[in-house]
Amino acid sequence: MTDKTLDQLKLTEEEKNKLKELVLARLTVMPQEISISIGDKNLDKKALTEHVQSEDEIGKQMMEMDLEFLQDLARGAMYGHE
Amino acid sequence: MNFFRISREVLCTDMNNSLLVTRPNHDSATNYLYHWTEPVIDEAKRKHIPLYDLKEDKATKKIFLSYLQSKRPGFLFLNGHGDAQTVTGQNYDVLLDKTVNKDFIFDTIIYARSCDSGKILGNTLVQHGVSAFIGYTRKFIVGTTRSNITKPLNDPLAKLFLEPSNLIPTTILKGHTAGVADRRSKQEMLKNFQKMISSAGSFEERYAARWLWSDIRSQVVIGDQNASINS
């Protein structure tokens, strides 16, 4: 199992922009009722979107998480995880 | 056996099966961890395990180190913020980093429910003599519902994240190994995850499922998988 940061993934600028677009698109359907407690912040949809837009530490983790999730989904890891 | 080894053994004769908990409470994130630590504390009390509960203003470096020195708890359950090199207490007071006196943590099991501590700090502390360190290699995430933000124990979304993480300390308190505690916790997270992405999950749960997946992926045990409070 790899647990690489976005910088370690060495995505091209184009790939990174597409991933960012995907993450931002998904955030548009985030339910208003939920928020994410990450680090010392509790972030709603709007705040999360801003973090991804600015590609700060939290924004990058959101992008890593979504990419990892999609990759794991594609290889069926969610059904065979230890 | 050299002098260093002997001195360590002498120092650790007071090591016991007691539990030291830190649970600051100074923002929304720590408030959730603070309240969700209560079931673990209740479990320790039910089992008559000696417990040192450093909560809120008691979760300071000075008090934490004095308890490590005088009580020699065998299991440290640390809740709070942190980064790759630190775990903090009330108002970000750094409780644990690489400068901690090695004798205070020798042969302990540590579970740090905080961000990023599995990246560097866990390895450093295991090199310092901690038998097993359980933590996260990225930011620990909890999904929350805004209508329950002031009553964390009633938050059904947070429950899906924090109940499995509580299995780590409760499994260790039952005398099982760090490896077993990690596996049980991950199995429970996976069970919750699969429910969340299934048709039985609400829209909110399905959305938040990948956050839980991140916690599953980033939870690590560093050191001796077979370490237990009985060994």
Write the DSSP assignment of B11-32 as a string of letters: HGGG-EEEEEEEE--SSHHHHH
pLDDT computed for residue A78 by the predictor: 78
Give whole-number Cα distances, B36 to B30, B151, B152, in Å. 10, 10, 7
**B138 residue type, one letter:** R
Cα separation of B216 and B229, whole Å? Answer: 24
Report CA Rg, chain A.
Answer: 13
> Which token pair is B32?
């959730």
CA separation, residue A27 to residues A44, A53, A54, B26, B208 (Å)? 10, 11, 14, 28, 11
pLDDT in 10s for each residue of chain B, 231 residues: 444 444 444 444 455 789 999 999 999 999 999 999 999 999 999 999 999 999 999 999 999 999 999 999 999 999 999 999 999 999 999 999 999 999 999 999 999 999 999 999 999 999 999 999 999 999 999 999 999 999 999 999 999 999 999 999 999 999 999 999 999 999 999 999 999 999 999 999 999 999 999 999 999 999 999 999 987
Residue B9: the pLDDT is: 40
- What was the pLDDT predicted at B15? 56
121-150 in chain B: CB under 8 A from chain A? 137-147, 149
Instruction: Pick B138's closest partner by Cβ from A34, A42, A61.
Output: A61
Residue B145 β-bridge partners: A34
Q: B185: distance to nearest CA of chain A, Å?
A: 11
Asked if B29 and A37 come within 8 Å (Cβ–Cβ), the reply is yes
Least confident of A8-17, A22-31, B7-16, B178-187: B7-16
* pLDDT at site A7: 72
Residue B43 DSSP class: H
Within 10 Å of residue B99's Cβ, how many Cβ atoms? 10
Answer yes or no: are the C-beta atoms of B52 and B85 closer than 8 Å: no
Within 8 A of B138 by CB-CB distance, chain A residues are 3, 61, 64
ipTM over 0.95: no
In which region does residue B73 sit, left (phi positive, over 0), alpha (psi from -120 to 50) or beta (all else)? beta
Residues of chain A contacting B, Cβ within 8 Å: 1, 3, 29-42, 44, 58, 61, 64-66, 68-69, 72, 78-79, 81-82
Q: What is the mean pLDDT of residues A28-49?
A: 95
Range list of β-strands (E), B56-130 = 73-79, 82-83, 86-88, 94-96, 109-113
B141 to A38: CB separation less than 8 angstroms, yes or no: yes
Question: d(Cα B62, Cα B135) in Å, to the nearest integer?
Answer: 23
Q: Which residues of B touch A38 (CB under 8 A)?
A: 29, 115, 139-141
Q: What is the pLDDT of residue B231?
A: 74
Measured CA to CA, the distance from residue B80 to residue A28 in angstroms comes to: 30
Residue with tokens 């677009």, as numbered in its chain = A21
Q: How far is CA B33 from the centre of its chain?
A: 10
B211 touching A, CB under 8 A? Answer: yes
Taking a C-beta distance cutoff of 8 angstroms, is the pair B100, B196 a contact? no
CA gap B35, B78 in Å, rounded? 13
